[in-house]
Amino acid sequence: MSGIECQSYTTTFTVVATQSGYNDSIGNGAPSKHWPILCAQVGEQITITFINEDTVEPHGFAVAGYDDAGVTILPGKSATITFYAASPGDYKIYCNVICAVHVFMQSGLLVIA
């Protein structure tokens, strides 16, 4: 477990990929710190919209244990994944496509309480 204590929980999230990573993961301390951190509660249906605002590179999005295959999104496109939060725990969020900022897109976390 990460030891992260969530201040609030929701069921709908938006993650935006740019040359600054996921939701500016570079500016938020990734890869040494988890970013982004999404907090949800067990038993909820979770919906994550992934938007690639990069104008050049495709980016990927995957959630360990829920969508390991992930999705690949071309520049300017988006995708939505939906799943049931079946078990409490910490689940890694990561890019599954090698890109210029790949290392900064490997430390996201979905916390299910």
**For the chain, which domains are there?**
12-112 (2.60.40.420)
Tell me the pLDDT tens digit for each residue of 60-71: 999 999 999 999
At residue 32, what are phi and psi to the nearest 5 degrees?
Answer: -75, -20
User: 12: buried, middle or exposed (CB in 10 Å: 19+, 13-18, 0-12)?
Assistant: middle
Question: Comparing C-alpha atoms, which of 98, 99, 60 is closest to residue 77?
Answer: 60
Question: Comparing C-alpha atoms, which of 54, 52, 23 is closest to residue 37?
Answer: 23
pTM, whole model, 2 decimals? 0.94
Tell me the pLDDT tens digit for each residue of 3-54: 888 999 999 999 999 999 999 999 999 999 999 999 999 999 999 999 999 9
